[in-house]
């Protein structure tokens, strides 16, 4: 029995690139249009939409589902990592307040603890647990998962059997679309970071 899972990162956000984590943020018009363009390509193939609860993912997912007569399942564990003291900050602001720590994070976040944040290990555990549950509960279906760069990087490294440190070696552009096929033999990444 084959399961297909399309992975879609949310689009560009108002206010530029920041470590927003679990902070709510609005999509730009371009960000939403880029997501809609990917959905236009997938509509008619997807049987179920699963989404992070954060509005930058959830609002589009719910609207697509309603328009296409699909169920939309909100899964809290697919939300972005909580960045603690880095939440809402740009890279420059993090460097000013925590010199050298962002470079260390980008090199290898394993074993690192950002003040007040989830550890990468705790984050990866909840995301992969949700992923495995989704594969089990929706076996044989074609699912679209709308989520975040952090959670999708964790999923991709999990699928590839790569170490957690490899999450920092996977590009994840806004509105990037990837596809994983899963069966009794395991998972296969068939598309990576496609655009509409």
Q: How far apart are CA 124 and CA 90, in angstroms?
A: 23
CA distance between the termini of the chain: 28
Task: Kindly state the DSSP code that residue 136 receives in the 8-state scheme.
Answer: H
Task: Give tens-digit pLDDT for 12-45.
Answer: 999 999 999 999 999 999 999 999 999 999 999 9
Domain boundaries, the chain: 3-82+119-194
What is the full per-residue pLDDT of the chain (196 aa) written as tens digits?
899 999 999 999 999 999 999 999 999 999 999 999 999 999 999 999 999 999 999 999 999 999 999 999 999 999 999 999 999 999 999 999 999 999 999 999 999 999 999 999 999 999 999 999 999 999 999 999 999 999 999 999 999 999 999 999 999 999 999 999 999 888 989 998 887 6
Cβ contact 33:173 at 8 Å:
no
- pLDDT computed for residue 196 by the predictor: 66
Q: How far apart are CA 196 and CA 17, in angstroms?
A: 21
Q: How far apart are CA 57 and CA 27, in angstroms?
A: 9
Indicate the average pLDDT of the chain. 95
Q: How far apart are CA 42 and CA 171, in angstroms?
A: 22
Helix (H) or strand (E) holding 149: helix 149-160
Hey, what are 135's tokens? 């594969």
CATH superfamily of 3-82+119-194: Phosphoglycerate mutase-like (3.40.50.1240)
Hey, what are 145's tokens? 């998962």
């Amino acid at each position: 029995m084959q399961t297909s899972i399309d992975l879609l990162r949310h689009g560009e956000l108002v206010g530029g690139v920041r470590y927003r984590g679990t902070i709510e943020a609005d999509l730009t018009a371009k960000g939403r249009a880029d997501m809609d363009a990917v959905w236009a390509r997938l509509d008619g193939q997807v049987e179920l939409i699963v989404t992070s609860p954060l509005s930058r993912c959830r609002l589009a997912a719910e609207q697509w589902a309603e328009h296409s007569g699909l169920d939309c399942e909100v899964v809290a564990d697919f939300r972005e990592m909580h960045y603690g003291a880095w939440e809402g900050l740009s890279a420059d602001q993090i460097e000013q307040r925590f010199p050298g720590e962002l470079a260390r994070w980008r090199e290898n976040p394993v074993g690192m603890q950002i003040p007040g944040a989830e550890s990468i290990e705790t984050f990866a555990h909840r995301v992969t647990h949700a992923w495995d549950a989704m594969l089990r509960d929706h076996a044989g279906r074609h699912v679209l998962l709308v989520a975040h760069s952090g959670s999708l990087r964790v999923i991709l490294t999990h699928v590839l059997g790569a170490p957690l440190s490899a999450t920092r070696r996977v590009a994840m552009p806004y509105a990037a679309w990837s596809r994983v096929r899963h069966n009794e033999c395991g998972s296969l990444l068939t598309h990576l970071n496609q655009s509409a």
